[in-house]
Amino acid sequence: MPKILKLPKLFSTMLVSTSPFNFDATMHKPSHFPSSDNIWEKGRYWITMVWQRQTVGLKLENKGTVARPKIELSVHSLKPVNKEELLPEIEWRFNLKTDLSEFYRKFKDDKYLKEPIKKWKGMRPVAANFLYETLIIYIVLQNATVRRTVQMLENLFDSFGQKVEFDGKILSAFWDAKKLDKIPEQKLRDLKLGYRAKTIKKLSSQFSEGKIYELTMRKMTKDEVRKEALKIYGIGPASVEYLLFEDFYHYDAFDTVPPWEQKIYSKLLYNKKLVSADKILRDMHKRYGKWSKLAIHYIWEDLFWKRKTRRIDWLEKEIRL
């Protein structure tokens, strides 16, 4: 077991967000699998970050309301960090500058969005990790059940990551891509990564050789990001589908429906057993246009928030735990 690094608090500051901002629905996505690099409690969120080659602990606290958002950020680290450089990155990660007013105006009375908007107005997608880390997550999602995904990621954290303690929480942090580049494939296979061992090694070397420029990709159009992402070994259409929306904030990027999601949309939107992916895509694009993926996000997360408080029998069957 690696030793736990204690990170002292460096500073705290207030973050400004556009309004409305829903703290809990933005920080916490109930449809996502749990990962030891972050903890959410109502009004509070802790996450680790590897920033300029050192491990940093972030705590975000809700100090405002949906209409008048105020977020207190505290930064924990062993060494000083450059605040002027860090803060814009935090703003991007938590998507604090986006303007969704048109979306709410257009769809507040929509049959499917009325309820989710009422409950979750101010919810946004967040790219809580760096691109390399996000892609690791997408790779362990591929062809695996939730339990197995969690096991693979936690095995990676235990072997290559760093455990840190700050603000009374113990969390894992990601590793530098260079670290995995040099690891023999068999070592990764021993962590039950299976054929993903090769994928993760190649991904790590593509990043450590500096072949992928996340900051440039943030400025690209949707199609450019897609093209760029598909060049990455092990990243295909299903991973890109998540990437475009959750990490690059393209609210219209709704092009693929994975089989398990297809079953859930069929029941939820059509009350049918199975509607073709093409029809779902066509209908959603027609109805929501450039907001299609954001609309789906509201519908989807609303369902998983409900699942937290009450059992939904038909849904349990579709989630492969």
Partner DNA sequence: CATCAGGGCCCTG
Partner DNA sequence: CAGGGCCCTGAT
When asked if residue 194 is in the footprint of DNA (CB under 7 A), the reply is yes
Are the C-beta atoms of 200 and 185 separated by less than 8 Å?
Answer: no
Strand partners, 210: none
The beta-carbon contacts of 214-222 under 8 Å, at least 24 apart in sequence, are 214/130, 214/131, 214/132, 217/131, 217/248, 218/92, 218/248, 220/248, 222/248, 222/250, 222/252, 222/253
**Degrees to nearest 5, angle at CA 114 with 296 and 105:** 90
Q: Classify residue 68 by burial, with Cβ atoms within 10 Å: 0-12, 13-18, 19+.
A: exposed
Does position 126 interact with DNA (CB under 7 A)? The reply is no
Q: Which is nearer to DNA, 113 or 240 (CB)?
A: 240
Closest distance of CB 142 from DNA, Å: 4
Q: Which of 147, 219, 227, 279 binds DNA (CB under 7 A)?
A: 147
Q: How far is CA 19 from CA 65, 69, 95, 113, 215, in A?
A: 9, 6, 12, 19, 25
Residue from 97, 118, 192, 211 touching DNA (CB under 7 A): that is 192
What's the half-sphere exposure (Cβ side, CA atoms, 13 Å) at 45? Answer: 20
| Closest distance to DNA from the beta carbon of 321 (Å) | 7
- Indicate whether 145 belongs to the interface with DNA (CB under 7 A): yes
The answer to the question of residue 19 lying near DNA (CB under 7 A) is no
Note whether 137 binds DNA by CB under 7 A. no
Binding mask 211-250 for DNA (x = CB under 7 A): ---------------------xxxxxxxxx----------
What's the min distance (Å) between Cβ of 28 and DNA? 15
CA angle in degrees (0–180, nearest 5) for 215-126-271: 130
Q: Return the number of the residue (9 or 147) whose C-beta is nearest DNA.
A: 147
Nearer to DNA, 13 or 143 (CB): 143
- Within 55-114, the residues that bind DNA by CB under 7 A are none
Shortest gap between Cβ of 225 and DNA (angstroms)? 14
Give strand pairing partners of 12. Answer: 74
Q: Which stretch binds DNA (CB under 7 A): 7-15, 28-36, 105-113, 208-216?
A: 28-36
Find the binder of DNA among 63, 106, 148, 169 (CB under 7 A).
148
CB atoms within 10 A of CB 209: 11
189 touching DNA, by CB under 7 A? yes
Residue 116: closest CA among 40, 30, 180: 30
In the complex, minimum distance from the CB of residue 127 to DNA, in angstroms, rounded to a whole number: 16
Q: Does 30 engage in binding with DNA (CB under 7 A)?
A: no
DSSP code, position 258 = -
Q: Which residue has the tokens 């989710």?
A: 116
Binding site for DNA (CB under 7 A): 31-33, 138, 141-148, 151, 189, 192, 194-196, 198, 232-240, 258-260, 319-320
